[in-house]
Amino acid sequence: MLDQGLKNQLSQLLDLMEGDVVFKVSTGTDETSQKMSDLVNEVAEMSPRITVEQTELKRSPSFSVNRPGENTGITFAGVPLGHEFNSFVLALLQVSGRAPKEEQSVIDQIKGINDTLHFETFVSLTCQKCPDVVQALNLMSVINPNITHTMIDGAVFKEEAEDIMAVPSIFLNGEQFGSGRMTVTDILSELGQGPDASEFEDKGLFDVLVVGGGPASASSAIYAARKGLHTGIVADRIGGQVNDTQDIENLISVKKTTGTTLATNLEEHIKDYNIDVMKGVLAESLNKTDDHIEITLNNGATLRTKTLIVSTGARWRQLGVPGEQEFANKGVAYCPHCDGPLFEDKDVAVVGGGNSGVEAAIDLAGICKSVTLLEFGAEMRADKVLQERLHSLSNTTVITNAATKEITGDDRVTGLTYEDMQSNVQKQLDLDGVFVQIGLSPNTEWLGDTVSRNKMGEIEVDRLGATNVPGIFAAGDCTDQRYKQIIISMGSGATAALSAFDYLIRN
C-alpha cells in the first residue's frame, strides 16, 4: 500500500514510539475494508510495538488506536491515506506516549473538561483543512478520557455523508458543532473553555499590542519585539487566511510551501521572541483614553497599550442573497479545494469571474459534471491565461451580465436564480452546489466609530501604516492597501511596527 519512500519515512517515525499500541479493526468483506486492513497490517508489521486485534466498531471499515488495556477513543472510519495519513501517524505516536507539542495551559484546559464529548468529523482525503481538525480532536481524545473522536471519510460512508456539503464537518454528541478548519484553541473556545479573563489581569501596559494572527500580525510583532518593545498579540488563532490556503508559491525566496506549513512557521518565528501571545480570544471593542488605548476581549478581559496595530485581516465575502445563509454547508460553499470533492459528478455554479472564481471553476471542472461561472460584469476580470484555460474545458459554461438573486433549495441547494442584466429577465439554473468567489470583507466591525474606514470597511492608512487616531496603526488585508497578498501584509506589518516604534520615541 505504501511506497518505499513513505515506508522509509514512516520507519523513522515509528522509532519514536514510546509505548505499545493496539489497533482494533472492524472490517467487512468490501474492497475498502480490504484496503484498510492492508494499511493497518503493513504499518503494524513495521514495529514490534504495534499489535492488531479484530473487533466490532460502530462503522465498518474502521479501526481504533489504543493503548494495551485502554481505549483512547480515537477511531478512523475509512482508510486514512491522502492528507489524513499524517493524522494517523500522529495519533499512533501520541497514543504511544509521545508528548504533544501544545502549550501546558492548553493541555490543562483540555484536561479540565469534565463533560463526556463524542466528536465525529466528516472529511475528504483531499481536504487540506481536515487534518488540522482531526489532529486537534485526536489530541484532545489522547489527553482526556472523557473525549472520543472518529474521523469519517465521507467518500466511504456516502449514505451518512449524504447531507454533508462541506468538509471538515464536525459533530459533537450527534449535533453539528462546527465546520471548516478548527485548531485546538478554536475548539476549546467553542466549548466555552477558552482562556479565562483572570489570566489577563496582570498584563500591565504594552508598548505595542497587535490584534490579529495572520502574516501582518506576525511581522508587526516580530519587528516590534526586535526593537525591545513590550509586545503582545491577541488573536483567535495564528496564521489567518494562510490556514485556508493550499499551496503558496509567491512568498519570494520560498519556492513552494503550504498554508499549514507557513502558519506553523509563523507561530514558530513568533515564539523565538519575547512576545506575549494571547490566543483563543477576539478583540471586541476599542477605547482611546488620553494616554493609552484599551482593548476589551470577548472573555471580558481588558488590555492596555501605548500603541495598537490592527491586523485583523479579512474573510470570504458573502453574496447577501436569500438562501445563502440558509444553505451554508448544504450546497453553498466558499472553498473549492476543500469542498470540491463533495460535488463529484454534480452540477455546480461558481459566482465571481475574478482570478479566484476562474481558478475555482477550473479546479471544479475536474471533479464535477458541469460548472457554470456567473460573472456580474460584461466580462470576466480574471487573467487571460486563466480565462483561456477555462474556455478549453468542455464541461464549463460562462454567463456574463448575471446578477445572482437567490439560492434556492429544499433541505439543500437545488438551484440559483439570476437576472440577465441585459434583458432584465430572471433565469433559473438547476444546481447541486454554489461556490461563492466574490472576494473578501475586512474584519473591522469591532472597531466601532474610532478608526476611519472606507466604504468597503477597510481601515484608511497612510504610507507609514498610521490611521487617523494617533498611536493606532494598521496593516494587511484589513486596510485599504490595494493588493491583498501575504508578502504585502508582512511588509505592511513591518512598516506599522517601525512607525509605532517611531511614535513611541517621540511621544
Asked if 363 is an active-site residue, the reply is no
In the complex, the smallest distance separating the C-beta of residue 156 from ligand FAD, rounded to whole angstroms, is: 27
Given a contact cutoff of 8 angstroms between Cβ atoms, the answer to whether 143 and 113 are in contact is no
Catalytic entry in 127, 130, 207, 335: 335
Residues 219-278 that bind ligand FAD (CB under 6 A): 234-237, 240-242, 244-245, 248, 250
Spatial CA neighbour of 398 closest among 367, 423, 365: 365
Given a contact cutoff of 8 angstroms between Cβ atoms, the answer to whether 61 and 71 are in contact is no
- Taking residues 390 to 429 in sequence order and writing x for each that binds ligand FAD by CB under 6 A, - otherwise, the string is ----------------------------------------
In the complex, the smallest distance separating the C-beta of residue 215 from ligand FAD, rounded to whole angstroms, is: 4
For 456-467, letters b (16+ CB in 10 Å) and e give: eebbebeeebbb
- Taking residues 444 to 473 in sequence order and writing x for each that binds ligand FAD by CB under 6 A, - otherwise, the string is --x---------------------------
In the complex, the smallest distance separating the C-beta of residue 431 from ligand FAD, rounded to whole angstroms, is: 22
When asked if residue 486 is in the footprint of ligand FAD (CB under 6 A), the reply is: yes
Q: H-helix or E-strand containing 303?
A: strand 302-310
Q: Are strands 62-67 and 70-77 parallel, antiparallel or unpaired?
A: antiparallel
Given a contact cutoff of 8 angstroms between Cβ atoms, the answer to whether 216 and 311 are in contact is yes
**How far apart, in whole angstroms, are the C-alpha atoms of residue 48 and residue 42?**
12
In the complex, the smallest distance separating the C-beta of residue 285 from ligand FAD, rounded to whole angstroms, is: 9
Asked if 130 is an active-site residue, the reply is no
Place of cell 476599542: 286
User: How many CB atoms sit inside 10 A of residue 28's CB?
Assistant: 12
When asked if residue 65 is in the footprint of ligand FAD (CB under 6 A), the reply is: no
Q: H-helix or E-strand containing 171?
A: strand 169-172
What are the φ/ψ torsions at residue 205 (nearest 5 degrees)? -100, 120
When asked if residue 161 is in the footprint of ligand FAD (CB under 6 A), the reply is: no
Q: Which three cell numbers stand for residue 100?
A: 504533544
- Taking residues 97 to 136 in sequence order and writing x for each that binds ligand FAD by CB under 6 A, - otherwise, the string is ----------------------------------------
Catalytic entry in 132, 207, 339, 432: 339
Per CB under 6 A, the segment of 43-51, 130-138, 365-373, 480-488 that binds ligand FAD is 480-488
Asked if 335 is an active-site residue, the reply is yes
Task: Return the sign of the alpha-carbon dihedral for residues 287, 289, 294, 296.
Answer: negative
When asked if residue 150 is in the footprint of ligand FAD (CB under 6 A), the reply is: no
Q: 346 in the Ramachandran plot: left (φ > 0), alpha (ψ -120 to 50) or beta?
A: beta
Q: Find the helix packing angle between 355-365 and 384-391, rounded to 10°.
A: 30
Place of cell 515509528: 14
When asked if residue 305 is in the footprint of ligand FAD (CB under 6 A), the reply is: no
**How far apart, in whole angstroms, are the C-alpha atoms of residue 142 and residue 121?**
16
- Taking residues 306 to 335 in sequence order and writing x for each that binds ligand FAD by CB under 6 A, - otherwise, the string is -----xxxx---------------------
Per CB under 6 A, the segment of 209-217, 342-350, 370-378, 403-411 that binds ligand FAD is 209-217
Per CB under 6 A, the segment of 58-66, 214-222, 370-378, 408-416 that binds ligand FAD is 214-222
| Residues of this chain that bind ligand FAD (CB under 6 A) | 211-217, 234-237, 240-242, 244-245, 248, 250, 282-283, 311-314, 443, 446, 476-477, 484-487, 489
Q: Looking at the annotation, which residues are catalytic?
A: 335, 338-339
